[in-house]
Amino acid sequence: MTRLSVNVNKIATLRNARGGNNPNVLKVALDCERFGADGITVHPRPDERHIRRSDVFELKGQLKTEFNIEGNPTPEFVDMVLKVKPHQVTLVPDSVDQITSNCGWDTKTHQAFLTGVLEEFNNAGIRTSVFVNADPEMVEYAAKAGADRVELYTEPYASMYPVNPEEAIRPFIEAARAAKNCGLGLNSGHDLSLVNLAYYHHNIPWLDEVSIGHALICDALYLGLEKTIEEYKKCLI
């Protein structure tokens, strides 16, 4: 079964735009679980422009499904993750001022650094995932660095899908096969939506998890959160 992890960053963005605690990030996360989500993802950034450190600690104590924390493994991030001990940590090469994630790790160039960070998390009993482009070599070096999983950066797929679905999915199938051959688990995320998710899953049915935030929250404005999660889960059957 491919699990749906809902990224609640956009809920925190909306809250922070007005101050106070409306919408309540914890309540929305718990509602996502109640409506069928298999996990919750957060991506805290140093400026706390959406998810705050306090959110991360509060969520850990209340969630009943899997908790995934993703971000750039700065010393502060590593310290927070080791204290919270989520089910999974996803390493993403974000710069401090980056609006959103827009590339995967060069796992070959940064193999030594990633090896050290992954070892620290693995020793703490936290499942590790490395955010990579759909490149078999990057997948293979993530395995060499000691990752449990890779998460394929799917924005290129989403951009090309309306024009040429077959060409859009091709490099992702190759990267997904490389992950399977390396014994890695497989996650995917970024710009996956109700438009393109079913086709992606149909071609890569051994996916372990998709992490979806922006498109899912946008769809919820029209469909409602419960119906939206139901529709995304249907794409993963």
Active site residues: 43, 70, 190
Q: In whole angstroms, give the CA distance from residue 146 to residue 144.
A: 5
Structure tokens belonging to residue 50: 């959406």
Please report which helix (H) or strand (E) contains residue 90, including its range: strand 88-91
Helix-, strand-, coil-residue percentages of the chain, each rounded to 5: 50, 15, 35
Is the Cα dihedral 201, 41, 67, 81 positive or negative? positive
Q: In whole angstroms, give the CA distance from residue 62 to residue 40.
A: 11
Structure tokens belonging to residue 235: 């794409």
Please name which of 110, 93, 171, 174 lies closest in space to residue 144, comparing C-alpha atoms.
110
* Crossing angle of helices 214-223 and 225-234, rounded to 10°: 120
What's the farthest any 2 CA atoms get from each other in the chain? 48
| SS3 sequence of 94-159 | CCCCCCCCCCCCCCCCCHHHHHHHHHHHHHCCCEEEEEECCCHHHHHHHHHHCCCEEEEECHHHHH
Q: In whole angstroms, give the CA distance from residue 96 to residue 166.
A: 35
